[in-house]
A = this chain, B = another copy of it.
Amino acid sequence: MARVIVDVMLKPEILDPQGQAIARALPRLGFSGVTSVRQGKRFELELDGPADEAALAEVRKIAATLLANTVIEDFTVRVE
């Protein structure tokens, strides 16, 4: 049993209106000091075996085919 994390973020050149809306709201709520916000997705995958290289390769394939749309998104895979 292992937990693997896949983080998926929009590529930097793609507009992120959600992140922007949050960044715009912050000063209105009295928060200063944040210059930009980007919003992405985080997936927690529980594996039924150990998070060895083979398993991680499999998760990378899952991320590339399903969890991220690589036309607009980048992803990273890591063990927690």
Interface residues of A (CB under 8 A from B): 1, 7-9, 19, 22, 25-26, 29, 31, 33-49, 55, 58-59, 61-62, 65-67
A66 cross-chain contacts in B, Cβ below 8 A: 22, 25-26, 29
A70 to B: closest C-beta gap in Å: 15
Contact present for B36 and A46 (CB under 8 Å): yes
- For residue A22, which residue of chain B has the nearest CB? B66
A65 to B: closest C-beta gap in Å: 7
Known: A26-B66, A33-B49, A66-B22. A41 touches B42 (CB 8 A): yes
Contact present for A44 and B37 (CB under 8 Å): yes
Contact present for B42 and A39 (CB under 8 Å): yes
